[in-house]
Amino acid sequence: MRSYLSMIAIMCATFLFAPTTATSLIASPEKQTHKAFFQNLTKLCGQRFEGETEFPPDPNHPLAGKKLVMVVERCSKDEIRIPFHVGEDKSRTWILTLTDKGLLFKHDHRHTDGTPDRVTMYGGWAATNGTANMQRFPADAETAKLIPEAATNVWTLEIIPDKQQFAYYLERNNEARYRARFNLKTLAK
């Protein structure tokens, strides 16, 4: 009996003081897809891709008809920064952060002098129904407070391997609001 209790004590101590925990040993399926998507996006690091606005078709939309460029600029083990240029406007950066909680997507808006815009760092956490090539990010509480009309926003980022494309898609109130598609076949200048 004494050796049995000693064995249980050793097992408990190993479990309590091991560098990983039981929850990190068995990642949830959604966290696995978050990580897989993050790794797939990391494969594009250091590259620039040109795109175009697909929706809305309104030629008066501020992004319509302008050259779009996404630059998968900086990648670390837990963060990817993607500056998103609209014509000469280089004020936007998409930031994806991989955390223990999941995958976070934020929009960082800056003035030309580098100071944060009044409306910046909005976005949300990846939903549970993503894949290694597509993740959806419903607006978080911080976004709803910052931009009340964006409380129902859902951003979708998608790598489309068979077409060698990347898509950025925004819905509001379950309706399409904006969509851009980038060509991954050729690098932008």
Q: What are 96's strand-pairing partners?
A: 80, 105
pLDDT digits (tens, 9 = 90+) for 92-127: 999 999 999 999 999 999 999 999 999 999 999 999
- List the alpha helices (DSSP H) in the chain: 2-17, 22-25, 29-42, 141-146
Q: Is residue 67 part of a domain?
A: yes
Domain assignment of residue 142, yes or no:
yes
174, 152 contact by CB (below 8 A): yes
- 132 in a structural domain: yes
Distances from the Cα of 140 to the Cαs of 14, 126, 148, in angstroms? 37, 10, 11
Q: Kindly state whether residue 18 falls inside one of the protein's structural domains.
A: no
CATH of the domain at 174: 2.40.128
Q: Which amino acid appears at position 156 of this protein?
A: T
Residue 46 within any structural domain of the chain: yes
Domain interval for residue 94: 28-183
Q: What is the pLDDT of residue 13?
A: 42
* pLDDT per residue rounded down to tens, the chain (189 residues): 555 444 444 444 444 444 443 334 447 888 899 999 999 999 999 999 999 999 998 888 889 889 999 999 999 999 999 999 999 999 999 999 999 999 999 999 999 999 999 999 999 999 999 999 999 999 999 999 999 999 999 999 999 999 999 999 999 999 999 999 999 998 877
Per the structure, how many domains does the chain have?
1
In a domain, 86, yes or no: yes
